[in-house]
Amino acid sequence: MPRRILVTGAAGFIGSHLTDRLVDLGLEIVGFDNLSVGRLTNLAHVTENPHFHFLKGDLMDPEAVRGVVGECDFIYHLAADPEVRTGAENPKKHIDQNLLATYNLLEALRERGTPTRMVFASTSTVYGEPSIIPTPESYGPLLPISTYGATKLACEALASAYTELLGLRVLILRLANVVGPRSRHGVIYDFINKLRANDRELEILGDGKQTKSYLHIDDCIDAHILALDDKLWSNRTDVYNVGSDDRIDVLSIARIVAETLNLNDVKFKLSKRTGERAWPGDVATMQLDSSKIRNRGWKSKLNSEGTIRKTGKQLKEELQNLQ
What residues are labeled active site? 148
Four-CA torsion 203, 207, 208, 210, nearest 10 degrees: -130
DSSP 52: E
What beta strand segments (E) does the chain contain?
Answer: 5-8, 29-33, 52-56, 74-77, 116-123, 168-175, 177-179, 201-204, 211-212, 214-216, 237-242, 248-249, 267-270, 285-286
Task: Quickly count helices (H) and strands (E) in the chain.
Answer: 11, 14
